[in-house]
Structure 1
Amino acid sequence: MTVILRGLAWLRDSIANQAERFFLRVLAAGPVPRHVAFVMDGNRRYARKQQKQVQEGHVDGYVALRRMLEVCLRLNVQCVSAYAFSIENFKRSEDEVEALMKLAEEKLLELCEHGDILDEYGVRLNVLGRTSLLPEKVQLAVQKAEYMTRHNTRAILNLCMPYTSRDEITTAVESCVRNADPSNPIPATFAGPDRVPDHGSRCPSKTFSRQLYLHDRHPTPPLDILVRTSGVKRLSDFLLWQCCEDTQIQISSTFWPDFGLLDFVPIILDFQRKAWGRRISL
């Protein structure tokens, strides 16, 4: 009886997987976003709802990231960006931060394994943000994962950690000023976005954009869709500059660990409806 039940479960999962693949091929026949970003919110509330430890919520959140990355790759999305860890998250409890850093190290090394999803789909991994703030073991895992995927060209996965958009914009401004006048160093007092050095130099928008984390390491397509889960209606300092032009911002009430294909399909259909509408109007 056990063997029969296992066989039925395998058959059910196989049929469901084939149906999902077919449905994604149909969706991919229409307009597809080049760049999708996720604010992966709700791990802790999900854990409390499921009566789990907070750390378990973050582990389930990583599973959701792999799931959604594969969905996006099957749709031929060129780039996926995920808000994995904010600089502000260092203010959380020591136990939670330590658990998150341990999880990051473990999963980054897992991504390096031959046959993993990045290897299978030809995905280049970029870890973007103030990586010098990460523990040394995590920095080494970042370097290994980036090195091992450096030749992949089919798609890009940007893990933003530790990241805030204000820090990204500040760093870009510093680079623009330094490049415009190398002999005039950045003032020591310029420590954040609240202070802007007056050098009398101009930084065109395109030049500035090339200094951002998402373009400095590897060219990234414009951001088409930004999805935030858990129903919270704010950007939380994520990709603020990139959201300024033609980005569709979508809020899902689903907690991130529960987010899946059925939550994503209406978002893609809405993108396609608007894309077809623009084509008709032309």
Structure 2
Amino acid sequence: MVLRRGLRWIYNKIVTNTQRCIISILTAGPVPRHVAFVMDGNRRYARIHGKEVQQGHMEGFVALRRVLDICLRMNVHCVSAYAFAIDNFNRPKEEVDALMNLAQSKLLELCNEGDLLDEYGVRLNIVGRIELFPKALQEAIRKAENMTRQNNKAILNLHMAYASTDEMTTAIEDCVKFGLTHNIDPDTYFTQEEIDKHLMTTAKGSPPLDVLIRTSGVKRLSNYLVWQCCQNTQIQFSSIYWPDFGFWDFIPIILDYQRKIWSRRISA
């Protein structure tokens, strides 16, 4: 037993040092400032492993912390994650209730043990229709956001009760209200740049989206950051279910990003 623990410690040490070395090499090249994840596959992961759906979502939150740590060690400035779509309210009530309870408990856990966010100076943003959530979850959201409000080195966006179409519609409505209130000529005011400024994600201080990753092999955006993906965003699809997604799945994506950046610079 002692020998087994010793071997496990050595193995973990080798893996950690190897990862640290790879990250050091990669960060010498171009690193995306903003990476977003569609965390897909929690339910299928649970079914394949004979677990309850709620357990799949629980392990999905563990994966989010793991991937966030990798991104922060690579100096990615902003990480966004699609945590709960507005359409997810249409799922079975027991699953929605379980997700609400899980989100509340994890946010409260973050308030009490915000080591990762504090270590890297990460500001937490919850982006979406927060008013649609139960009051207790809304309180947990406000508490978690306020706890990290002074952090300014990196950003974590959790898109909850979110839909890209809703974000774009709201941004246009806000533009119209602002223009009418300030009597601005619509021909000069209603531009793509002005609408972008009013997007919920942009208003939270997020830079342009460089890479969007969707797990589980599904190849669609599912109403997530559609506006942000319209120009230079590199969209990557992984066949790995989200709870299994980790370092060795992420590195090839970063290498592909760097290859395309170098190719663009050479041809410019």
Unaligned segments of structure 2, at least 5 residues: none
Q: Which amino acid aligns with 2:117?
A: L
Distance 2:123 2:114 in 1: 14
Please give the residue correspondences for 1:9-158 in structure 2 after superposition, counting only pairs within 5 Å: 9-158=8-157
Distance 1:39 1:276 in 2: 26
Q: Quote the sequence identity (%).
A: 59
Distance 1:124 1:219 in 2: 10
Distance 1:151 1:87 in 2: 29
Please give the residue correspondences for 1:210-229 in structure 2 after superposition, counting only pairs within 5 Å: 210-216=197-203, 218-229=204-215
Aligned residues: 266
Say whether 1:250 aligns with 2:236: yes
Q: Which amino acid aligns with 2:74?
A: L
Q: TM-score, normalised by structure 1?
A: 0.91
**SS of alignment partner, residue 58 of structure 1:** helix
Distance 1:219 1:55 in 2: 32
Unaligned segments of structure 1, at least 5 residues: 185-198
**SS of alignment partner, residue 215 of structure 1:** helix
Distance 1:270 1:125 in 2: 28
Pairwise CA RMSD of aligned residues? 1.5
Q: Tell me if structure 2 keeps the 8 A contact 1:83–1:238.
A: yes
Q: Tell me if structure 2 keeps the 8 A contact 1:177–1:201.
A: no
Q: Which amino acid aligns with 1:123?
A: V
Cα distance, 1:265 vs structure 2: 1.0
Q: Deviations over 1:39-74 (max 9, x none)?
A: 000000000001100000000101110111011101
Distance 1:5 1:250 in 2: 39
Q: Which amino acid aligns with 2:65?
A: R
Q: Deviations over 1:188-222 (max 9, x none)?
A: xxxxxxxxxxx888511111111101122x32110
Q: Tell me if structure 2 keeps the 8 A contact 1:176–1:207.
A: yes
Q: Deviations over 1:122-181 (max 9, x none)?
A: 100000000000111111110011001001111000000010001101110110010010
Distance 2:130 2:187 in 1: 31
Number of the residue aligned with 1:263:
249
**SS of alignment partner, residue 156 of structure 2:** strand
Q: Tell me if structure 2 keeps the 8 A contact 1:41–1:228.
A: yes
**SS of alignment partner, residue 223 of structure 2:** coil
Q: Which amino acid aligns with 1:161?
A: M
Q: Deviations over 1:62-110 (max 9, x none)?
A: 1110111011101100000000000000000010000000010011111
Q: Tell me if structure 2 keeps the 8 A contact 1:128–1:160.
A: yes
Cα distance, 1:278 vs structure 2: 1.4
Cα distance, 1:276 vs structure 2: 0.7
Distance 1:226 1:200 in 2: 33
Question: Which structure has more helix as a fraction of its residues?
Answer: 2
Please give the residue correspondences for 1:157-196 in structure 2 after superposition, counting only pairs within 5 Å: 157-182=156-181
